[in-house]
Amino acid sequence: MDLLTLLPTVSRPPRRLPLSRRLFWTAVVAAVYILMTITPLYGIQHQTRQGSQPAQELLSIIFGTAYGTLAHLGIGPIVIAGILLEVFAFSGLLNLDLNKREDRLKFTLLLKWVALGIAAVEATAYVLGGQFNVTGPLGGLLVILQLLIATVIIMLLDDLMSKGWGIGSAISLIIFLGVSRQIFLSLFSWDVAKDNTGQLHLVGLIPALGVALYDLFTTGNAAGILSLIDRRVILEGQTSPTTLPDLIGLFTTLLLGYIILYLEMMKVNIPVTAGQYRGIKFTIPLRFVYVSVLPIIFTTYSLLLVGQLLLPFYETSPVIAEIVRVIFPPLRYFYDVPALVLHYIIYVALATVFAWIWVSLAGLSAEDQARQFAQSQLHVPGFRQSEKILAKILERPINALTIISGFIAGSFAALGNILGVWGGGAGLILLVEIALQYYALVMREQMLDMYPGLKQVLGQ
């Protein structure tokens, strides 16, 4: 335990902070991380990367990474460490009872060290792989040290948020910022891309629309407006087409985002009564999309990992080239339907499997829910008050909701990739889910500020 406590941590505030103060510290955490994404690593030789690989783009969105900066590793090490340790804890391999305060503290400290270890391995691999083009062993060691310090800073930011200074967690906030940044750049970026014919294109849709409208009003030429509907171009130095932000992308992003939001807000109500207050009946809502964030992160990261391992053999092996094209299909790749169908099936299958595994291991199964009901002296009307009976009653709806969740998450992630939604299919799901979480948290904090007596009812 002494070794685990060597890492710095953030103490809890002396008393519960008002919502305005917590929003202020949440904004500070966001500003610090944004600064990290624009602060370059010292000692590396920056290179202009022509056409980022799809895997790198997805990783930067989901894990909040920024190439060659203090945020180069992003929240990846912390997310991966958290997933691994939670699986080990709920499966009994760690021999920790997370209902006990001391064991939760051990779990948190262990998570920090595992995350730091993963960060060290990743940083070393990047340096040895020549990604930073550093000069000499000392330069490589300096880069690794900077990335480890950056990981510690992110862990401190997460401590700050989760211990009551901010709202939510820094991990969710960073994912939200990463996806929001991609959508913002798709709309407003003033970067210029040159295609293989030498023609220049403004990347952001709004600036490109402004130029197209100027041409329309001054010359009467509507070609610029029409070209914004579908902007697939072959950029200079590339052989495959790249889709710049266009009107189809904007429409599909808004439509898919609305559908995801609608489904995420749907509830399935379980009627219950309170044992200590006979005759009082009410319902406990279970989300229709029972679990979506972690399964889709599992799925996306697994496919990215496989794709990254296969990319070096893309040009030498036709079979591997086809596999990579299934994992990373070009946007709106409609002329190869079998590849799109396989991409969809793989995403749905993996998301469903991971959803089932996560519900079984993360305390969301019918048995776990029944245990919570029994501890609260809640039971289903018409049935004897028994934990086993409750579990049997809840098993069917929870199993169905788990499969539906995996299917929905995998479907929208795959469709988002195929249709070219901004931020990617997985990124859009995470954006909507985290936005709803923050909305619920802010509403809850406002309610507690308005009615302080609720704090005693909620045990705070």
Query: What does the pLDDT read at residue 110?
Result: 86
Query: What does the pLDDT read at residue 46?
Result: 59
What is the DSSP secondary-structure string of 75-124? THHHHHHHHHHHHHHHTTSS---TTSHHHHHHHHHHHHHHHHHHHHHHHH
Residue ranges in 364-422 assigned as alpha helix (H) = 366-375, 387-419
pLDDT over 90 for what percent of the chain?
10
CATH no. of 248-460 = 1.10.3370.10
Query: What does the pLDDT read at residue 361?
Result: 72
The domain locations on the chain are 1-185, 190-244, 248-460
User: pLDDT tens digits, residue range 200-214?
Assistant: 888 889 999 998 898
Tell me the pTM. Answer: 0.81
Is it the case that residue 451 has pLDDT exceeding 70?
no
Over residues 73-77, mean pLDDT: 87
Which two three-digit tokens encode residue 345? 């099936």
Q: How far apart are CA 187 and CA 162, in angstroms?
A: 32
Class of the CATH domain delimited by 1-185: mainly alpha
Classify residue 92 as left (phi > 0), alpha (psi -120 to 50) or beta. left
Query: What does the pLDDT read at residue 49?
Result: 46
Same topology between domain 1-185 and domain 248-460: yes
User: pLDDT tens digits, residue range 93-113?
Assistant: 777 766 677 777 788 888 888
